[in-house]
Structure 1
Amino acid sequence: MEHANDGLRPPLERRGKRARRAFRACVTSSGLHGTEVLGAGIAGSSGDEIRAAATRLAGRIHRTPVVRSRLLDQRAGREVFVKAEALQRGGSHKARGALNWFAAAVERGVPRDREVVTASSGNHAQAVALAGREHGVPVTVVMPETTNPLKVEATRAYGATIVQSGVDWSNRDEVADRLVAETGGLRNHPDDSDELAGFGTIALEISQQVDEIDAIVVPVSSGAVISGVAIGMRAFAPGVRVVGVEPALAADAQASLASGRLERLSAPPDTIADGARALSLTVRTFPLVTRLVDEIVTVSEDEILAATWWLWTRAKLLVEPTGALAFAAACSAMPWARRVVCVATGGNADVVDLGRRFAEAGLEARLATAASAGPPTRSKAAWEGA
C-alpha cells in the first residue's frame, strides 16, 4: 500500500518541488533558522527532550486512557482508539505543555515571583493558570471578549488575572506583549519548545498503549499540539502517519500545507469548535507542520457536532467540539487507514449549549437506528443513521 510504504519518508519530501521551494522561502523570510525554527530538538534529540518532559510531568499529569467502543468502530468503519485528553488535568492536553514549561523554567532559575503572561481563548489559559498556581507563580491571561464564559471563569478560579477589555482574536498577542513590556513579566507562548515537548508526551504514551497504528489524528488550530505530537511520533513510532484535522470553516492549515506558504484567515471563523479559531499556524509551528504532518483534512460543522454526540453517548467522554474533531475525521476521511488513534484534546464543554444543539438536530428521534447504521460517507448528511 502506498501510504504504508511511504511512512518513513519525511512528509515534506513526499510533496512537490513547488511546495518545498515555498516552504524554504517562508522559513527564510521568517528570520528563523536551524533548531530555532524546528523547535523541541527536532534536529535529532526530540525523543530525549520529550522523555525529559515526561520525567518532569510524572505525578503532575494523568496518563490518560485510550478508550475503545465497538459502536465507535462501527460508526467510523475502522478500529478507533480515542486518546482521552479530555480527562487530563484542567480538562485538556494543554496541561502537559504548561506544566512542563513552568517546571523547565524553574530548573533554569527563573524567579518564582516573576509574573507570567500568556494569551489564550480558553484551554491554554486554564492550563497556564493551573501550572502557575502549582508553582506559586502569578499569571495574567489575555483572553478575547468572545471567549466561552465557562472557560474564563475556570481560568479565574485557578487564580489568574484576566484581561479582556478590547481584546479579540486579532490583537490578543499584541496586548499580551504590551503587558510584558510594561511589567517586565515573562511571556509564555503555547508553541514554545518546552510546551511542544510536553505535548510530545502524548505520542510517547500512545506508542506504549497501542500497537500497529496506521494513523494518528490530531486537531489543528495554531499548530502547537500537532507539532508536539508529530515530533513525538517521528521519534517513537516513525511509520505512523500524522493527520491533522480542522473545521472546514477554518481551513488555513490545510491551505498552508498545500501551498508551502503560511496562509492566514481574514477573520476568526464562526465554528462550533471554539478551540480551533486561530487565524493561522504560527511562525514556529508552520515549518514543523509542513515537515512532519502527512496531511490535513477538514470536517463540516454538522460532522463536528455529530462526532461530539457520538463520543458523549457511546464512549461516555464529555468532549468539547474541538476535542471531537479527530473522531469526526475518522468517520469521513482516510479510507486507507484500518487502525486510527484519535486525540480527543479537550473536555471543557458548554453542556447547556451543546444539549440544545443536539436537541435541535433531532438526535433522540434517530437513536433507534443508530446501532444498525453503517459508516457514513461524505455524500451523506452527517446525522444520517445517528
Structure 2
Amino acid sequence: MILPSDVAAAATRVHDHLRTTPLVEADPATFAPAAKVWLKLEQLQHTGSFKARGAFNRILAAAEEGHLTDAGVVTASGGNAGLAVAHAAAQHGVPAQVYVPETAPAVKVTKLDELGANVVRAGRKYADAYEAATQHAAETGALFCHAYDQLEICAGQGTLGRELLEQTRGELDTVLLAVGGGGLMAGVAAALEGDSGVVGVEPRTAPTLDAALAAGEPVDAEVSGVAADSLGASRLGDIAHAVAARTGVESVLVDDDDIVAARTLLWERHRLVVEHGTAAALAALLSGAYRPREGERIAVVLCGANTDPTDLVQPIRSG
C-alpha cells in the first residue's frame, strides 16, 4: 500500500535529481471547450519519461538503508523503466543491468547502450525478461528495480502529482494519464488523494486497469496494439489496484486510431513528439471517451518521448 506520506518522503529524497517539467495551458477549443486544460510535459524529464522519478527514489532509498552494493542495480524493461534505472544508477556511480525482451524498440535499446547499461536480451515477452532479471538479482545481490509494482517506484512517480498541485496552486479537479502496469497512476492517485481525481486511460487493446477493476483484483489481459511498446504490461500491479480501489480511480478506454490521431495532433499543432502510450491520455479528450463537466480543470500528463518520430512527418509529393 502506498500513502501520501510515502510520496512526500520521495519528493524530499529526489528533489535535487529531477527536473520540474513544464505545465502549459492548452487551447480549450482544441481539446475541451467547456473545460480548462493543461498539458504536463513530462516527456521533458530525464531520459524522456516519468520513470526517472521512481528510479531515483528506489536507488536513493536503498542507498540510505545500506542495501545498495557494488553489484549495482538490475531491472526488466522494454524501454522507459530501463532507461530511467540506467540513468539513475550512472548518476549514483553504480552499474546497471537491463534485461529486455527481443521485441524492445531499437530506439530505446540504443539509448540504454548510450547510458552505459549492460543490456541483455531475454525472450520475446516482458515476462521472460522479468524472470531473468529477478534471477540475476538473487544470484548477485543487485538491487532489483521493478518497472511499476514496488513501493519506492510508485512513490517516486507520485511526485509528479505533488508537482501538479503546486503548479496549479491546488486548483485542479482531474488528472488524465495513461496506464500500463499502473505505477504512475498509483503514485499520482496517492499524492492527490482528497484533492483531485485521477482517470486512467488505456487502449482497448491493453486494458489492464479496466480488467482489474471489473474483476476486483489484478488479472491477466491480452495486450496488443499501437501502444504496446510502452503500455505492454499484461497485468495491473497489486499496488496500483489497491490505490485505484481506495481512491476511486476511473477507467477510460480508447481506440488505437484515436491514439494515433492524438499523437499526430500534438506534433502538427504543437510540435510535441510523444509515444503512442503517452498520447492515449489526450485521446480520451479528443475522442469524447472522457467528457469533462462544465468548468472542469484538467491536467493531461504527456509522460514519454522515446519514440521513432519518422512516422509523424508525411513525405512531400511532387505534383
TM more than 0.5: yes
| Partner residue in 2 for 1:89 | 46
- Which of 305, 309, 321 pairs up with 2:264? 309
Once residues 152 and 244 of structure 1 are traced to their aligned partners in structure 2, the CA distance between those partners, rounded to angstroms, is: 27
* Paired amino acid for 1:213: L
Structure 1 position 212, deviation (Å): 2.8
Task: State the partner residue of 1:243.
Answer: 199
Q: How does 1:20-99 map to 2 (within 5 A)?
A: 38=1, 40=2, 42=3, 46-47=4-5, 49-70=6-27, 73-77=29-33, 78-99=35-56
Distance of 1:333 and 1:353 partners within structure 2: 25
Separation of aligned partners in 2, 1:167 and 1:116: 22
- Which SS does the other structure have where 1:286 is aligned? helix
Corresponding residue for residue 283 of structure 2: 328
Q: How does 1:88-127 map to 2 (within 5 A)?
A: 88-127=45-84
Does 1:300 pair with 2:255?
A: yes
Cα distance in structure 2, aligned partners of 1:272 and 1:285: 20
Contact 2:68 2:142 in 1 (8 A): no
* Residue of structure 1 equivalent to 2:184: 225
> What do the CA deviations read for 1:99-144 (whole angstroms, capped 9, x no partner)?
1111111111224412211111111000000001001111111111
Letter in structure 2 aligned against 1:75 = F
Matches of 2:250 and 2:108, distance apart in 1: 30
What is the aligned counterpart of 1:203 among 142, 157, 161?
Answer: 161
Cα distance in 2, alignment partners of residues 73 and 96 from structure 1: 32
Q: Which moved more, 1:281-290 or 1:303-312?
A: 281-290
C-alpha separation in 1, matches of 2:153 and 2:236: 15
Deviates more, 1:180-189 or 1:322-331: 180-189
Partner Cα distance (1:229, 1:263) in 2: 22
Q: Deviations over 1:132-163 (max 9, x none)?
A: 10011111111111111010110121111111
- Greater mean alpha carbon deviation, residues 221-230 or residues 329-338: 329-338
Q: In terms of Rg, which structure is larger?
A: 1
Alignment of 1:243-322 (within 5 A): 243-266=199-222, 268-322=223-277
Going from structure 1 to structure 2, the CA distance change for 1:111 and 1:277 (only over 3 Å counts) comes to closer
- With over 3 angstroms needed to count, the CA separation of the structure-2 counterparts of 1:294 and 1:160, relative to structure 1, is same
Query: Could you state the TM-score of these two structures normalised by the residue count of structure 2?
Result: 0.91
CA distance in 2, matches of 1:302, 1:225: 24
Does residue 214 of structure 1 match 2:191?
A: no
Distance 1:293 1:347 in 2: 29
CA 1:263–1:166 in structure 2 vs 1: closer, same or farther (change >3 Å)? Answer: closer
Give the superposition deviation at 1:167.
4.2
1:8 matched to which residue of 2?
Answer: none
Structure 2 CA distance for aligned equivalents of residues 293 and 274 of structure 1:
27
Task: Give the % identical residues.
Answer: 37
Is the 2:189–2:249 contact (alpha carbons within 8 Å) kept by the matching residues of 1?
no
Q: Could you give the per-residue CA deviations for residues 330-384 of structure 1, whole angstroms, max 9, x where no partner exists?
A: 222332432211111111121114436xx79x9xxxxxxxxxxxxxxxxxxxxxx
Give the 3-state SS of the residue equivalent to 2:192 in structure 1: helix
Q: Secondary structure at the match of 1:297?
A: strand
What letter matches 2:162 in structure 1? L
Give the superposed CA RMSD: 2.0
SS where residue 300 of structure 2 aligns? strand
CA contact (8 A) 2:122 2:128 kept: no
Query: Are the aligned partners of 1:167 and 1:175 in contact in 2 as well (CA < 8 Å)?
Result: no
Letter in structure 1 aligned against 2:213 = L
- Work out the CA distance in 2 between the residues paired with 1:293 and 1:149: 37
| Unaligned segments of structure 1, at least 5 residues | 1-37, 363-386
- Distance (Å, rounded) in 1 between the aligned partners of 2:214 and 2:122: 37
1:194 aligns with 2:149: no
Q: How many residues align?
A: 311
